[in-house]
Amino acid sequence: MRISLRMAGAFRAVVHICALLPLIWLYLRVQSGQAGGDPVQYIIHFLGKGALNLLLLSLLVTPLVRVLKQGQLLQLRRPLGLWAFTYACCHLLAYISFDLLFAWRLVLDEIVKRPYLVLGMSVWLVLFALAITSISAIRRKMGKRWQQLHNLVYCATLFAGVHYYWSVKSEVIEPSIYLALIVFLLLIRAKIYKHKWRFLWRLS
Ligand code: HEM
C-alpha cells in the first residue's frame, strides 16, 4: 500500500504530538515535585536525551523509506529535525538558567574548560544552521549547497553521542549503546551513498 499525501500529513501531526507531550509531562512532573532529588539535573538529562532520540529518529527515516519503499515518509525528517533542535535549545537553556543562573562569565568558562560542552555547543550550532536553512525560501536560494550543509547532520549526531558518553561519570553502558546505534546508522547511510555514486558513475 502506498502512503498518500494525506496520510503523510497525519504522520507529521503524530510526530508533533509525540514530541510535544513529553515536554508537558516534564513540566507537570517538575511542578508536582516528582523530578527526583535534583530536579535541575533531571530536566537537563531529560531534554538532552530527548534531543538525541529525535536526532536519531530523523536519521532512521531514510533507511526506513528505502525498506518500506514509501517516499512520502521523507516528509517526517523536517519536523523530527526541528523538534530535535527545540529540545536541544531547552536543554541548553535549562543548563544556563537553572544550573549556572545566567552567570555568562561562568557559562563561557565552563564551555571552554570541558571538552564535552565544546562538542555539545558545536552540535547545537549545526542544528541551529540546519533549522534556519530548513525555511523553504532559504532552501531554494541555497541550491546544491543546502544538501552539503544538511549532510553535517551525520557529524552532529556522532558528536552528540560522544557528548553524551563524555558527560557521564561512570554508567557508560547506555551511552555506549547510543554510540553503537549512531555508528550503525551512519554505516547504513554510507552504504546508501556508495550505491548512489556507483549508479551515477555507470550513467556517466
Ligand atoms: C548547546 C550546548 C550544550 C550544552 C552546554 C550541554 C550541556 C550538558 C550538560 C551540562 C549535561 C549534563 C552533564 C552532567 O550530568 O553533569 C549534558 C548532558 C547531555 N546532553 Fe548536552 N549540552 C549541549 C548540547 C547538547 C545537544 C545538542 C544534545 C543532543 C542533540 C545534547 C545531549 C545530551 C545528552 C544525551 C546528555 C546526557 C543526558 C543523561 O545523562 O541522561 N546536548 N549536556
CA angle 14, 185, 25 (to 5 degrees): 35
Work out the pLDDT band at 5, boundaries 50, 70, 90. confident
Compute the distance from residue 95 Cα to the ligand 1 centre, in Å: 9
User: Number of structural domains, the chain?
Assistant: 1
Could you list the residue range(s) of the whole structural domain that residue 46 is in? 5-203
**Centroid of ligand 1 to alpha carbon of 179 (angstroms):** 14
Looking at ligand 1, which atom is closest to the CA of residue 111?
5
CA 6 to ligand 1 center in whole angstroms? 36
pLDDT digits (tens, 9 = 90+) for 37-50: 999 999 999 999 99
CA of 91 to the centre of ligand 1 (A): 7
Residue 196 clears pLDDT 80, i.e. is over it: no
* Residue-averaged pLDDT of the chain: 93
- Three cell numbers, residue 134: 530548513
Residue 143: pLDDT band with limits 50, 70, 90: very high
pLDDT band at 34 (very low <50, low <70, confident <90, very high): very high
- 3-class secondary structure, 33: coil
| Residues whose beta carbon lies within 6 Å of some atom of ligand 1 | 44-45, 48-49, 51-52, 55, 88, 91-92, 95, 117, 120-121, 123-124, 127, 160, 163-164, 167-168
Q: What atom of ligand 1 comes closest to residue 123's alpha carbon?
A: 27
- By most ligand atoms within 8 Å of CB, the mutation choice from 38, 40, 44 for ligand 1 is 44
58-to-77, 80, 85, 141, 201 alpha-carbon distances in Å: 5, 5, 11, 24, 28
Between the CA of 52 and the centroid of ligand 1 the distance, in Å, is 9
- Please report which confidence band the pLDDT of residue 191 belongs to, taking 50, 70 and 90 as the band edges: confident
The whole-angstrom distance between residue 84's C-alpha and the CA centroid of its chain comes to 4
At 51-61, the pLDDT tens digits run 999 999 999 99
